[in-house]
Amino acid sequence: MVTVSVPGKVHLIGEHAVVYREPAILAAIGMRIAVGARKTDSVRVSDREMGPDLEWPVRECKEAAEKAQRLWEEGNKKKDFSGVFSLVKGSNFKKVAIGHVLNKLNIDSGISMGFSGNIPMGSGVGTSAALAVVIAKAVSEVYGKGLDNLQVNELAFDIEKFGHGLPSGGDNSVCCFGGLVWFKKGNPNTIESLKGEVPYNLENFVLVQTGKPVKTTGELVQQVRDLDPSVRESAVKAIGLATQEMRKALKEKDFGKMQALINLAQRNLKQLGVSTPEIDTLAEAVFKIGGAAKLCGAGGGGVVLCYHRDKEKLKNKIRELGFEPMEVELGVEGVRVEE
């Protein structure tokens, strides 16, 4: 049995804009997905979050992954990925992800995977990215393929495409490598650790779960893509410029500036139509007490990242609104094989 774990992530700033080649700053968070894996004849998945145990023939998983690849290529031509999104919903995401890794690594045997962890599912904190990374790493370890983190990350990015269409690659990168990361989509992508510039711990942040999004990340990204270009481009550019400023603020420990930039990002994400009334209410309340708050990930619900220099004051306000704050460490270790 091999056990692998991977952290979730948050964007400190840069959601949605990063898809359009603006930079983003992401942090691996102290919530993890773990998988215990071993060789079997079929593909077996046990996950308490997803219901009863599932089992598929190896060939069925590999064919599902091949179909997902074809649908993604068709969607890429049309800039409409609804076909592949439908295929990978629910437990089929793991089926396709495992099949894809088996195909890429030329493995014809099966694997049994038992999943556990404390990352809120489908809430903007990198569940799908963490799953993609943990599956790729676990298959590699079980079958002795010896993939390094760069190779694991490449496989995870492939899998993310099935769920997101045209993802930036930032989510899977920070889940894989961990820490605090500067990311910019490109050919190749720019992935820089900010450990040297930001050698201190980011403190006084909490997460708040506002409710599970109705739409998937891929559907929300598509929704933004379908906006009037003038609306989308204005907000995307503003978030991109704020991200550049955030890097300077972090380097200089200018937490007042950091706070203002988080609030600016939330206003522009609202303009993109990916906020919700619950997120807006929370963000406004935190702003009024001198803090900052913004949605995480694709939005449409899910987790909100909140900051205040007085963490207890922040937590009390969150509870007044009927939510429960979740304390979280930012900048943790990436994928690892557990002893």
Q: What's the CA angle centered on 275, arms 274 and 277, to 5 degrees? A: 140
269 close to 295: Cβ distance less than 8 angstroms: yes
Strands (E) in 83-189, as ranges, are 110-117, 180-184
Structurally, at CATH architecture level, domain 2-196+332-337 sits in 2-Layer Sandwich (3.30)
CA distances from 224 to 230, 235, 293 (A): 12, 11, 21
Q: How confident is the model at residue 52 (pLDDT cuts 50, 70, 90)?
A: confident
Output the pLDDT for position 216: 82
Q: What is the DSSP letter of 223?
A: H
260, pLDDT greater than 80: yes
173 close to 181: Cβ distance less than 8 angstroms: yes
H helical segments located in the chain:
58-78, 82-87, 92-104, 127-142, 149-164, 170-177, 217-225, 229-251, 255-271, 277-288, 311-320
269, amino acid identity: L
- d(CA 112, CA 26) in angstroms, rounded, equals 31
CATH of 205-327, one of 3.40.50.720, 3.30.450.20, 3.30.70.890, 3.40.50.300: 3.30.70.890
Q: What is the DSSP letter of 49?
A: G
13 close to 242: Cβ distance less than 8 angstroms: yes
Q: How confident is the model at residue 90 (pLDDT cuts 50, 70, 90)?
A: confident
**Tokens (6 digits) for 133:** 């990374």
Per residue in 92-126, pLDDT (tens digit) is 999 999 999 999 999 999 999 999 988 877 777 88
- d(CA 241, CA 294) in angstroms, rounded, equals 16
H helical segments located in 110-168:
127-142, 149-164
Q: How confident is the model at residue 166 (pLDDT cuts 50, 70, 90)?
A: confident
CB atoms within 10 A of CB 148: 8
Lowest mean pLDDT among 24-33, 172-181, 218-227: 218-227
- d(CA 33, CA 55) in angstroms, rounded, equals 20
Residues 6+ apart with CB under 8 A from 262: 12, 13, 292, 293, 294, 305, 307
Q: How confident is the model at residue 89 (pLDDT cuts 50, 70, 90)?
A: confident
Q: What is the DSSP letter of 19?
A: G
Span(s) in the chain for CATH 3.30.230.10? 2-196+332-337
- d(CA 158, CA 72) in angstroms, rounded, equals 10
Q: Which helix (H) or strand (E) holds 88?
A: none
26, pLDDT greater than 90: yes
- d(CA 30, CA 328) in angstroms, rounded, equals 6
171 Rama class: left (phi>0) / alpha (psi -120 to 50) / beta? alpha
Span(s) in the chain for CATH 3.30.70.890? 205-327
117 close to 36: Cβ distance less than 8 angstroms: no
